[in-house]
Amino acid sequence: MTDGPLTDPKALRALSHPFRWKLIQLLGEQGPRTATQCSAVLGESVASCSYHLNMLAKYGFVEEVEGPGRQKPWRAVSRRQIISPEGLDEEGALAAEAAGMAFLDQEFERIRERTRQREHVAQEWRDFVGIDGRTMFVTQEEMAQLHAEMAELLDRFNERTGDPSLRPEGARPVRLFLSVAVAPE
């Protein structure tokens, strides 16, 4: 997968299923897993997990990891997918919209679930769990600067996701979801 926006309508349609986003996020957080292991974590059948993993592999989002045994684990190829209808024809734009909506559906479900489980989080972590929404009045230039600063800040921790040996003692998976929506004029 490239780091640029996805432009293949078929690949975008492959991401239009919320369960596939769950698989991508599971593999991204927990590393390589077999379809059986994905099934145990996500509560979906092994056959369904296998089907969806194969669909994701067809478009390069996941791949099988070589190893011993009959069941091969899958790993996420990229931890970032850029989805935008910009510059796409009508078919591509519709596929990008469907993929984006599936991602949001899955992400909001995850936020709701983790918010409901807040009481099960250790007290020292609870102050960081929550939702914050703000409306700001900024120029395009200020937004570009803010976006770059936030990306730089978050990028400091990227390597830890792919390499568990870089995680300090006590590190836990933390999901930070940022959304920017600009009001039309």
Per-residue model confidence (pLDDT) at position 69: 67
Per-residue model confidence (pLDDT) at position 94: 95
Rounded mean pLDDT, 129-137: 87
CA–CA gap between residue 175 and residue 127 (Å, rounded): 14
**CA count, 13 A, side-chain hemisphere, 89:** 4
Rounded mean pLDDT, 147-176: 88
Enumerate the domain spans of the chain: 9-126
Choose between 69 and 41: higher pLDDT. Answer: 41
With a pLDDT cut of 90, the percent of the chain lying above it is 53
Q: Is the pLDDT of residue 100 over 80?
A: yes
Rounded mean pLDDT, 82-108: 92
Cβ-count burial of 47 within 10 angstroms (0-12 exposed, 13-18 middle, 19+ buried)?
A: exposed
Three-class SS state of 112: helix
Rounded mean pLDDT, 104-119: 88
Per-residue model confidence (pLDDT) at position 82: 85
Model pLDDT for residues 17-28, shown as the tens digit of each residue: 999 999 999 998
Report angle CA 18, 23, 25 to the nearest 5 degrees: 95
CA–CA gap between residue 6 and residue 99 (Å, rounded): 10
**Do the Cβ atoms of 62 and 14 come closer than 8 Å?**
no
The dihedral of CA 162, 163, 168, 172: what is its sign? positive
Rounded mean pLDDT, 53-70: 88
Amino acid in the structure at residue 178: L
Which CATH code fits 9-126?
Answer: 1.10.10.10
Q: Is the pLDDT of residue 1 over 50?
A: no
